[in-house]
Structure 1
């Protein structure tokens, strides 16, 4: 193991992959990145399945601890606790972060992901599905907007892993043909986070050409 890189990140240019790159850039943790071309199927190789049995990115290997971790929310929670970064100190505030982290995993990701699929990946045009997922996606933007009307960031007035989890998904509204002008607090929050140098670096890293 390279002492400057205690973490190996397996990732791709997707919202879930971007989360971890952004966190590592924000936290200033040394790491090695392995970018997978998902269309080539390397994520289904025996070597990668030993790291993540579900065959999806992101996943990390913590060489210091001798463990591998998969599922983006679990990775964010693990890294924030291990390094004491982007996680509030108080129990109540920590619970708020966990709630919004799970909200992203259980609601934002699945609904926006399904909308993306039916808009861009499906070989047939299913208007019923598109209407369903567009309506639900906009409802979720409304939930987030009401939350952000009362605080600077999702869980509190402190930037946290809850924001890092939700940001890569909610920034895709143009790709999803969603009009979010009725949600000014979301737009303000997106602009604030996107202006952070570490966020820009994490997104740029994800866009680099992956290996096959």
Structure 2
């Protein structure tokens, strides 16, 4: 019996890449949509009914009468690829040790080293907006100092590293599309909406634009929607 997959999709979130993954694998799925609070930009309380942390993406999978609820982008991608679509992985049995290592590295780098400075850029952009009115001058100063001295240098370091890693390559691992590319797509979206000059990263955008042209990516956009990550930093 085929698995019944439901993606709990939150606007402007990492959930969109899960839809892309499922489209690449040709799997049937349902999308349950959630909207952010327009003031705080936080996820709605209803998501906490699905998973205790109340964040997205979350998937529920019903298979052979058993229901699994799984959160965290990396865990979702790794689980679904291993269970339903090994063609998007570099398996442990691969004779290409470097390809296997690259696959695991970028699959996990995206949510580890990659997301940290992007999250800090959102936190410090929102700090003056969400804080008390009387404290805004102080919070603006704190935000500016943190961004200029800590966040922007880390962002530049990260994207310089990705740019160098993609030199002469069409994919992150093994010369083919894998879950690593799907995980890294959100990092490229973060660069697109960051204060960094995009024209300094031609390799990243060459790769990213080729992902945008994939049929599965376009189908996923139709079922979910394009992320507007700039709303967190504007």
TM-score (norm 2): 0.77
Whether the aligned pair in 2 keeps the contact of 1:51 and 1:69 (CA below 8 Å) is no
- 1:120 is displaced (CA, Å) by 5.2
Q: Which runs of 4+ in 1 moved over 4 A?
A: 40-43
Between the aligned partners of 1:35 and 1:169, the Cα distance in structure 2 is: 22
Deviations 1:132-176 (A, max 9, x none): 212211211111111111422112311111111111231233422
Whether the aligned pair in 1 keeps the contact of 2:117 and 2:155 (CA below 8 Å) is yes
Whether the aligned pair in 1 keeps the contact of 2:89 and 2:179 (CA below 8 Å) is yes
Q: Tell me what 1:76 maps to.
A: 77
Q: Tell me what 1:26 maps to.
A: 24
After superposition, residues 189-204 of structure 1 pair within 5 angstroms as: 189-204=207-222
Whether the aligned pair in 2 keeps the contact of 1:101 and 1:162 (CA below 8 Å) is yes
After superposition, residues 111-122 of structure 1 pair within 5 angstroms as: 111-119=117-125, 122=128
Determine if the alignment matches structure 1 residue 104 to structure 2 residue 110. Answer: yes
Q: Tell me what 1:152 maps to.
A: 170
Between the aligned partners of 1:8 and 1:205, the Cα distance in structure 2 is: 12
Aligned residues: 204
After superposition, residues 12-23 of structure 1 pair within 5 angstroms as: 12-23=10-21
Q: Tell me what 2:57 maps to.
A: 58
RMSD: 2.4
Between the aligned partners of 1:42 and 1:181, the Cα distance in structure 2 is: 33
Q: Tell me what 1:44 maps to.
A: 45
Between the aligned partners of 2:159 and 2:11, the Cα distance in structure 1 is: 23
Between the aligned partners of 1:101 and 1:177, the Cα distance in structure 2 is: 25
Whether the aligned pair in 2 keeps the contact of 1:15 and 1:169 (CA below 8 Å) is no
Whether the aligned pair in 1 keeps the contact of 2:106 and 2:172 (CA below 8 Å) is yes
Q: Tell me what 1:87 maps to.
A: 89
Between the aligned partners of 2:213 and 2:108, the Cα distance in structure 1 is: 25
Q: Tell me what 2:229 maps to.
A: none
Gaps of 5+ in 1: none
